């Protein structure tokens, strides 16, 4: 069995962003040489997410609105976490809703997606470098 590990780094200038990382994960798969197996992709920061969905701008705007309704950034006093001097209590909750990781089957050397599925990095407290782990195992 082969095992491959790579870190992808992101530094979004804004507080929130949704980045399609499917091409980067596909490149990792090519580098790994795995033809049959599994790919784990996970955010290694507690205020970021990895998830699978459609790459459609309206949907991303819906996510922005929905997440802000669920866990508004302001007022900062809303979150006890922010009493520590942080201002990202909302980002922790948004990450919890959107998820930490995805696992995708690898079949015949390709990510085995359903129609329209893509892998996204979701940033909820940007402005600094953060990483995503890609771990691929298989034959």
Phi, psi of 27 (to 5 degrees): -65, -40
What's the whole-number mean pLDDT along residues 109-128?
Answer: 97
Domains of the chain and any CATH numbers: 2-138 (2.60.120.460)
Digit-coded pLDDT (tens) for 47-95: 999 999 999 999 999 999 999 999 999 999 999 999 999 999 999 999 9
pLDDT band at 126 (very low <50, low <70, confident <90, very high): very high
Query: Would the pTM of this model clear 0.85, i.e. be above it?
Result: yes
Confidence at residue 75, expressed as pLDDT on a 0 to 100 scale = 96
Average pLDDT over residues 18-24: 98
φ/ψ of 120, rounded to 5, equals -125, 145
């Amino acid at each position: 069995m082969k095992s491959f590990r790579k870190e992808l780094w992101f530094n979004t200038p804004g507080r929130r962003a949704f980045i399609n990382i499917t091409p980067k994960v596909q490149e990792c798969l090519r580098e790994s040489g795995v033809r049959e197996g599994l790919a784990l992709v996970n955010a290694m920061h507690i205020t970021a997410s990895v998830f699978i969905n459609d790459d459609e701008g309206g949907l991303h705007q819906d996510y922005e609105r929905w997440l802000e309704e669920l866990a508004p950034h302001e007022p900062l006093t809303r979150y006890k976490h922010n009493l520590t001097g942080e201002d990202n209590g909302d980002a922790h909750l948004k990450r919890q809703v959107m998820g930490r990781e995805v696992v995708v089957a690898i079949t015949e050397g390709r990510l085995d997606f359903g129609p329209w599925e893509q892998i996204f990095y979701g940033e909820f407290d940007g402005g600094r470098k953060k990483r995503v782990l890609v771990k691929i195992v298989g034959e």
